[in-house]
Amino acid sequence: MAYNNPLPTVTNLGDGDWEVSISETGCANGDEAQAIQMPKHLGNTKFRLLRTRCRKTAGSAVTVQPTLGRQTDPVANNAVERQAIAASAVDEQYIDPIFVRTDADGRFFHRSLPSAGADNAILTDYRLKEGWNPVD
């Protein structure tokens, strides 16, 4: 199965809340990072990462390790948030939000990092809040 990573769905939930949904098929550990384009009018914007959900729905991988960053290879030194321990499913709600900023073009980059195979179907959601002020 060829890697298929259609553009993520970016949904404005109102009041500065955003949800990014990513659906990948044919996903392998070394696949190219998925670009997440936030709306252009936001520009280079600061966000708080509130929640990460990631689960494998099919394929030979045992675990996933979702990673979010500001550059095209968020796994190396460019990761803003990388799930500390690979797991079969991830649902991380951050008590202390993680502060993230898009690149100069208003993008984040995501990789699912499945543990094995190139036949994985993976669903990932990120919940973000505009701004770095906790009382926004």
pLDDT for res 84? 65
User: Cα–Cα distances in Å, from 120 out to 21, 92, 123, 135?
Assistant: 17, 21, 10, 39
pLDDT in tens, 87-112: 788 888 888 878 888 888 888 888 88
At 75, list the tokens.
Answer: 């796994």
* Residue length of the chain: 136
pLDDT in tens, 4-40: 566 789 999 999 999 999 999 888 887 777 888 888 7
Q: What is the dihedral of CA 115, 116, 118, 124, to 10 degrees?
A: -20
Give yes or no for a contact between 19 and 127, defined as CB atoms under 8 angstroms apart.
yes
- For the whole model, what pTM was predicted? 0.86
9-130 to CATH, choices 2.60.120, 2.115.10, 3.40.50, 1.10.8: 2.60.120
Question: Taking the domains of the chain in order of start, what are their residue ranges?
Answer: 9-130
Rounded to 5 degrees, φ, ψ at 42 are -80, -25
pLDDT for res 96? 80
